[in-house]
Homo-oligomer: A and B are copies of this chain.
Amino acid sequence: MHTHTHIVQYYETDRMNFVHHSNYIRWFEEGRVAYLEAAGAPYTDMEAAGLLCPVLEAHCRYRHPCTFGDTVEITTALSTFGRVRFTFSYTVHRQGDGLLLAEGHTEHCFIDANGRPLALARRDATLAARLTALSAADAAGTMP
């Protein structure tokens, strides 16, 4: 698990006064990018190696709104890592009082530069082992 801090920006709010709900999907991306960076498997390295991981599914449940002036903490876990698909799960809490703002998940697969799905273990066994270990550790609630 990894926690990433994000300062809510004015341009992220809408006229209901709160952060527009679409931005949480962007914050999930910030969270998983920071997770992979912290895990020593930065997404820029994957892309440089011709590995892309598009989003197959996104889900968010909104618990409480937040707005400009708030800082949020996005906690990301690699909740499942299968042969072809994997899932990140997220919680977003407000810094200070720890209020749960939202929770969700995204499902992904790996594709090559031509858009073909690939089994990571065949392409990069080391990275596959690393992500499998991270997923197991996240499931166990411990850091590897």
A55 in contact (CB, < 8 A): yes
Q: Which residues of B contact A61 (CB under 8 A)?
A: 56-57
**How many residues on chain A are close to B (CB under 8 Å)?**
35
A26 in contact (CB, < 8 A): yes
A25 in contact (CB, < 8 A): yes
Task: State which of A7-15, A83-91, A93-101, A117-125 sits at the interface with chain B.
Answer: A7-15
- Measured CB to CB, the nearest residue on chain B to A24 is B58
Q: Which residues of B contact A25 (CB under 8 A)?
A: 21-22, 25, 58
Q: Which 5 A-B residue pairs are closest in the complex by CB-CB distance?
A: A13-B15, A44-B69, A22-B25, A21-B55, A59-B59
